[in-house]
Amino acid sequence: MTACLVTHPLDLAKVRLQTASKPGQSLAGMVYQIITKEGFFKIYSGLTASLLRQATYSTARFGIYEFLKESFQEAYQTTPTTSALLPMSMLAGALGGLVGNPSDVVNIRMQNDSTLPIEQRRNYRNAFDGIYRIVKEEQVSSLFRGLTPNLVRGVLMTASQVVTYDIAKSLLVDTLSLDPSKKSTHFSASLLAGLVATTVCSPADVVKTRIMNAKGTSGGAASILTNAIKNEGVGFMFRGWLPSFIRLGPHTIVTFLALEQLRKFRLGMPSE
C-alpha cells in the first residue's frame, strides 16, 4: 500500500493508455492531459480502490508465497530451488488474483471513469461504494469480471516478480559478494524483478484492463483479444509497456524495500 501511494498516478496513466481507442500517446502526455483537463488531484482518481486492491491482492499473494516457502524449508531443511519456488509463486498469484478481483474491477472503473461520456460515468464515491453499487446495479458476478486474465496475470506477476527477486538477490550475494542486508542489494534485485515482471505480464494486464472496463456482459477475454489483434495488431498487448515499467519498477522497489524492513524487525512474524 505504501508503494501504491508512490506510484498511483503512473498506474492511472497506464490504465488510460491501455483503454485508449487510439495508440500513440506518451506517458507524459497522458499525465499532462489528466492534470490540465481534469485537475491536479485527478491523478489520484480511484486511490481508495487501488489501496484496497493492494490490501487484498498483494497481501494474499505475498503472504501465501512466504508461508509456502517457509513450510518447504521447515519440511526439507533446505532452501527451495527455482523449480520449487515457481509452483509456490503460481499458486500464491492465482489465489491473490481471486481475492483481489473485486477491488481490481472497481479500481479500473474509477481510474477510467472521467474518460467516459457524462451519461455513462459511474461516479463511485470510493472503493466500498463501488463494490456496493456493482452488486446492487449489476450482479455479484460482475465483481469477478476479467477473472481469467486476472488469474493469469496474478500467476505471471507473482512468479516473475517474487521468484526473480529471490534469484537476483541470491546471485548478487553469491556472485558479486554483495551484503544481503544492504538496501543497495534489495534495490538492484527488485529493479531486475520489476523489469521481468512488466514484460511477462503486459499482455494479460492489457486484456484484463479492457474486460473490467467494458460495459454490459459482452466481451470475453477471447473476443476482446481477437478483435484487438485484428484492429490494432499484436503490438496492442504491449500497449503502455513503458508506463507499466515506470510504475512497476518503483512499485516493486518500494514493495521489497518495505518487505525487507518488515523481515528485519520481524513485524507480523513469530520471534526467532
pLDDT on residue 58 = 93
Residue 271 lies in a domain: no
- Residue ranges making up the domain that contains 61: 2-265
Q: What is the pLDDT of residues 243-265, one digit of tens each?
A: 678 878 888 999 999 989 888 88
Q: What is the pLDDT of residues 118-150, one digit of tens each?
A: 888 899 999 999 999 999 999 899 999 989 888
Q: What is the pLDDT of residues 33-73, one digit of tens each?
A: 889 988 888 888 889 999 999 999 999 999 999 999 999 99
Cut 0.95: pTM above it: no
| pLDDT tier at 216, thresholds 50, 70, 90 | low
Residue 38 lies in a domain: yes
pLDDT at 267 over 90: no
> Assign residue 182 a region: left if phi > 0, alpha if psi is -120 to 50, beta otherwise?
beta
Per the CB < 8 A criterion, the answer to whether 41 and 263 are in contact is: no
Count Cβ atoms within 10 A of the Cβ of residue 146 and give its class: 0-12 exposed, 13-18 middle, 19 or more buried: buried
Per the CB < 8 A criterion, the answer to whether 195 and 189 are in contact is: no
- What is the number of structural domains in the chain? 1
pLDDT on residue 161 = 93
| Alpha-carbon radius of gyration of the chain | 19
Residue 84 lies in a domain: yes
Residue 259 lies in a domain: yes
CATH code for position 171: 1.50.40.10
> Which stretch, 20-24, 179-183, 234-238, has highest mean pLDDT?
179-183
Residue 272 lies in a domain: no
Residue 177 lies in a domain: yes
Instruction: Give the residue among 3, 113, 111 at the shortest CA–CA distance from 51.
Output: 3
pLDDT on residue 132 = 95
